[in-house]
Amino acid sequence: MIAQPPRHRLYVDAPLAAGLDVRLDGAQAHYLRDVMRLGPGAAVALFNGRDGEWLATLDTLGKAGAQAVAQTLLRPQGDEDGPWLLFAPLKKEATDYLVEKAVELGCGALLPVMTRRTQSQKVRTDRLRAQVIGAAEQCERLTLPAVFEPRPLAKVLEDWPAERRLFVLAERRDALPAARAFAGARALKAALLVGPEGGLDDKDLDALLALPSSTPVGLGPRILRAETAAAAALAVWQAVAGDWETR
C-alpha cells in the first residue's frame, strides 16, 4: 500500500493488470529519464482508459523506450459519460485551447463538424488525439474522449442518434439560458454544438434546429469566442447536470 499516488502519470495503450509488463514509448522514456530524472525502480501511475489507474515501477529506461511493471490498482475504472462536443474547427491556437479545456471539463467525445462558415478545412485528428492524451494525463481523467474524423454538418445530422439531445449554442431570442436547459437534461445523453468564429450561418442553424432532438441554448448577453463558448457550456453542464455535484 502507498499513501500518495506517484507524481508522474502516463497514458498507455497496453492492458493493465498486476504483474503485467508495459512498454512505454521513446517520448515517454525521454520524459521520465531526461526531464524528470527518474531511474529504474521509480514509481509512475499508468492508465489506458479501460483498466483503471495503476501504480507501476520502472524497469528499464532506454532511448527507444522503457519498460514498467504494473503493481497495484490505484483507482478503479469509472464511467465518465460527459457530453459530446461538436465544434467547427477554428484557427490552430483556438482549436488547441478548445480541445485541452474540453478534456479537463469532462467532455465525452470530440466531433469536428464542417459548417458553411468553418474557416479551417484541415483537421489533423492524430494531433487532436495527442492533445487529448496530454490533457488527460494532466487533469487526472481515467478516460479519453473519443476523437471523431471531421464530417460535414449535413452528414452529422443525417446520422444523429435520436436518443441524444443536441444543445446548439446559438445567439437567438428563443434560446433557453444554459443553466435551465441543462438542469432539465440531467439524466439524458447530451451533446453540445459550438459554431465557427462569427457564428453559425442561418442555413446551418435552421438545419440544426429542425432536428427533433435539438434545443437552442444561450450563453448570456456578451459575444463569446467559439472556444470560450465550448469551455463555458461544458463547465455549466458539469456544474448543473454533470459530475461536479457528486464531489
- Chain contacts with its own copies (rule: CB under 8 A): 97, 100-101, 104-106, 138-141, 175, 177-180, 218-225, 228, 231-236, 238-240, 242-247
For the bound state, the minimum distance from the C-beta of residue 218 to its own copies, rounded and expressed in Å, comes to 6
Cβ-based nearer residue to its own copies, 80 or 201: 80
CB of 18 to its own copies, least distance (A): 25
Cell of 146: 473519443
Q: Among residues 72 and 138, whose Cβ is nearest to its own copies?
A: 138
Bridge pairing between strands 146-147 and 84-87: unpaired
Nearer to its own copies, 164 or 186 (CB): 186
Q: Between 20 and 183, name the residue whose CB sits nearer to its own copies.
A: 183
Shortest Å, Cβ 166 to its own copies: 19
Nearer residue to its own copies within complex by CB, 89 or 106: 106
Kindly state the smallest distance separating residue 63's Cβ from its own copies, in Å.
30
CB of 189 to its own copies, least distance (A): 19
Name the minimum Å distance from CB 242 to its own copies: 8
Closer residue to its own copies (CB): 48 or 207: 48
